[in-house]
Amino acid sequence: MNIHGGRVYKPRRVLYYIEPTEEEVHNFYLGKIPEKVLAYDGVFGTYDCPGLFVITSSTGYREVIGIEYRPDDDSLDYPADLESMILPASFMVFGDYEDEDSICVENVKNSINDVKDFIRYYNNRLGAVKVKEQPEYIQIYTLRGYKRILIQAEDITKEEFFDQLSPENDREEKLYDIAYHDSITGHFNWNYIWPIVAGFGLLGIQDYSFVHFDIKDFKALNVVYGHDIANNVLSRVTEKMKEQDWVYFSARCHNDNFAMMIKGMPEEETRQKLEKMFDEITVLPEDKNYNVYYRCGVVPMRIALVLGERVADAGKQVQKTGEKLYETEVLFFTDEMHNELDWSMKIKAYLNKAIDNDEFLIHLQPKYDIRSNSIYGAEALIRWKYHGREELYPSRFVPVFETGGLVSKLDDVVLHKVCQCFVAWKEKGIPLRPISVNLSRKNLGNPKLVEHLTAIVDSYGVEHSLIEFELTESAAYDNQEYLVGRLLGLKNRGFKISMDDFGTGFSSLGLLAVMPLDTLKIDKSFVDKLTGTDEFRTGCAIIRNVISMAKELGFTCLAEGAEEKGQVDLLREFGCEIVQGYYFSKPVPVEIYEKMLCE
């Protein structure tokens, strides 16, 4: 079995459950939860989603299907139609299983061994958390597209778990202060709060919601008002966090980022308390005409307890969705985001193995010279034969690797695949046409980029002129002098350079004039306007002028996304040389493109 996992702390809780029939147990493993239990999924006060609980004893085990609740809370409406039992507080070791793995009661013992094997390699920074040899209960979840088994761990004391947070002498006290306090505000830092997130129950906290926030446009505040005033803002934030009686622990993480563990409350109450706190530190005392705004991500109690040590990733993920510059935003992590986070963690961990297993492949979308109606070349587009099964489109995985800084590995995979195609076609005597491959923003940051890409191509003996490196317009916004230098390095070695999605960003004409481009690709959004819509005249004017400008600058002009003959005819009339789109061909497997070259 392929498993990924770790540990979570489960506080004392009440399990509300039914005694399922054999059919209900069978259906559970197919992801179908009895309606009587499912009715309480997502209700405030619940911990995690409905699951199957294997209650073990010396004589065997019994299965129940139920959902966990925060205990002893008079504000909650507990299920009156379900049986209940108390589950003790405990660390749980969990394993998240891949989709092809089956989970059933018959292999529970094997699953325990799987997680035990995994835990031997688990990088546990905070002391040993070991699976119990004879766990009292095991929890199994199959809802919302993930399969998870949680197994009760051995008891561990507060002293054992938090040993590094208890200095024993003056020297350790000094080291403690350096390690766990922020030098600017004097408040705790992330090193301090991280182990508390992992083992909160050992400190008497029943449950919590997690908050991660930053200060909007803090760099501008630093530049305009200087470091002293900016540091005052950071200190006021930490003081305000310490004043709140609903905040258990808080920290300044780094730069203008902060974290809090807060009381688990309904969403609206949480929002009101956070907005009130931020309102009180909005006006800059040194300049009352200037307002400081915040971007805040909240992971609700139910999801925070499921994520355990990964809760900070969730807080940052939802925080990043804030887009309104001139107002404070309080945003909440959802079950859908939880699924995406699980997916991203899973595929990031699996990427290297997927590359070793040769699971990635390319499709090629032909580019046509509309002056001669012949194939000019193609664009290489990546696909993922995930675990050798379903074929995933780039939208399902590329954004994950872009945010995780791993996309350059995919760029390399595609380049290798393209070079392998050229070697095979040359041996078969098939005509060779240029193929464009993506050049990601991450790759552009590599100071050895030119040498790295050249080494890959030269290892196959492929002519440099057959490879076109394609960067998106948005990739041009970083250090422009550096960017032009990297592109010139590639151009001087005989590679071709193109800019993709032109018109979707805000490239300056001055930058275009110095960029060593061979091809300018007009974005599909402009080509779509050439269809007799209300924007027809605007589309014609824009494309005609872009083509004219491209010719003046010595670029070949390519229009992407053409789907109708009328669009192609207009593009030809305007002087566009190359067209890529479904009118001629969708992206096709390498074998199909090879046949097209031979026709």
pLDDT tens-place string over residues 512-524: 778 899 999 988 8
Asked whether residue 349 is domain-assigned, the answer is: no
- pTM equals 0.73
Q: Which of 289, 312, 340 is the last residue of a domain?
A: 340
> Do 139 and 262 share a structural domain?
no
Q: How confident is the model at residue 112 (pLDDT cuts 50, 70, 90)?
A: low
Q: Clarify whether residues 544 and 503 are in a common domain.
A: yes
352: in domain: no
CATH number for 368 = 3.20.20.450
Position 164 scores a pLDDT of 58
Q: What is the pLDDT of residues 296-321, one digit of tens each?
A: 999 999 889 888 888 998 999 999 88
Contact status, residue 251 vs residue 190, Cβ threshold 8 Å: yes
State percent of the chain over pLDDT 90: 55
In a domain, 533, yes or no: yes
Is residue 103's pLDDT more than 90?
no
80 within domain boundaries = yes
pLDDT per residue as tens digits for the range 398-425: 988 887 778 899 999 999 999 999 999 9
pLDDT level of residue 113 (50, 70, 90 thresholds): low
Supply the Cα-derived Rg of the chain in whole angstroms: 29
Find the CATH number of the domain harbouring 265: 3.30.70.270
Asked whether residue 156 carries a pLDDT value surpassing 80, the answer given is: no
| Selection from 231, 265, 232, 235 nearest residue 248 by Cα | 265
**Number of domains comprising the chain:** 3
Residue matched to tokens 């990635």? 360
**Assigned domain for 350 exists:** no
Rounded mean pLDDT, 320-336? 91
Task: Give the pair of three-digit tokens for residue 20.
Answer: 């399922």
* Same-domain status, 114 and 17: yes
Whether residue 345 is contained in a domain is answered as: no
- What is each CA distance from 147 to 5, 102, 391, in whole angstroms? 11, 9, 21
Question: Looking at the structure, do residues 330 and 365 belong to the same domain, yes or no?
Answer: no
72 pLDDT band (50/70/90 cuts)?
A: very high
> Residue 346: inside a domain, yes or no?
no
Higher pLDDT pick, 435 / 310: 435
Same domain, 107 and 169: no
Range of the domain at 295: 160-340
- Listing DSSP states for 545-574 in one string gives HHHHHHHHTT-EEEEE---SHHHHHHHHHH
Asked if residues 523 and 561 have their Cβ atoms less than 8 Å apart, the reply is: yes
**Minimum mean pLDDT range among 64-68, 176-180, 298-302, 303-307:** 176-180
Q: Are 127 and 160 in contact (CB under 8 A)?
A: yes
Predicted pLDDT at 495: 97
pLDDT value for 323 = 86
Of 182-186, 280-284, 443-447, where does the model show the most confidence?
Answer: 280-284
User: Do 308 and 194 meet the contact criterion of CB atoms below 8 Å apart?
Assistant: no
Residues 426 and 516 occupy one common structural domain: yes
Q: What is the distance, to the nearest Å, from the Cα of residue 512 to the centroid of all Cα atoms in its chain? A: 32
Q: How confident is the model at residue 121 (pLDDT cuts 50, 70, 90)?
A: very low
Identify whether 271 is part of a domain: yes
b/e for 181-204, b at 16 or more Cβ within 10 A?
bbeebebbbbbbbbbbbbbbbbee
Domain final residue pick, 109, 139, 155: 155
Alpha-carbon dihedral angle through residues 188, 189, 190, 193, given to the nearest 10 degrees: -10
Residues 312 and 225 in one domain: yes
Residue that is last in its domain, among 340, 372, 404: 340
Q: 361 and 243 share a domain?
A: no
Where residue 138 sits, what CATH number does that domain have?
A: 3.20.80
Residues 203 and 97 occupy one common structural domain: no
Same domain, 135 and 199: no
313 and 181 in a single domain? The answer is yes
pLDDT in tens, 205-217: 999 999 999 999 9
Res. 242: pLDDT tops 90? yes
Report pLDDT for 118: 52
Task: Give the model's pLDDT for residue 442.
Answer: 78
pLDDT digits (tens, 9 = 90+) for 341-380: 878 888 888 899 999 999 999 999 999 999 998 999 999 9
CA separation, residue 583 to residues 373, 452, 522, 579 (Å): 12, 36, 16, 9
Do 583 and 464 lie in one domain? The reply is yes
Residue-averaged pLDDT of the chain:
86
User: Average pLDDT in the 9-36 region?
Assistant: 92
> Which is more confident, 345 or 581?
581
CB within 8 A of 581, min separation 6: which ones? 524, 527, 559, 560, 561, 562, 563, 567
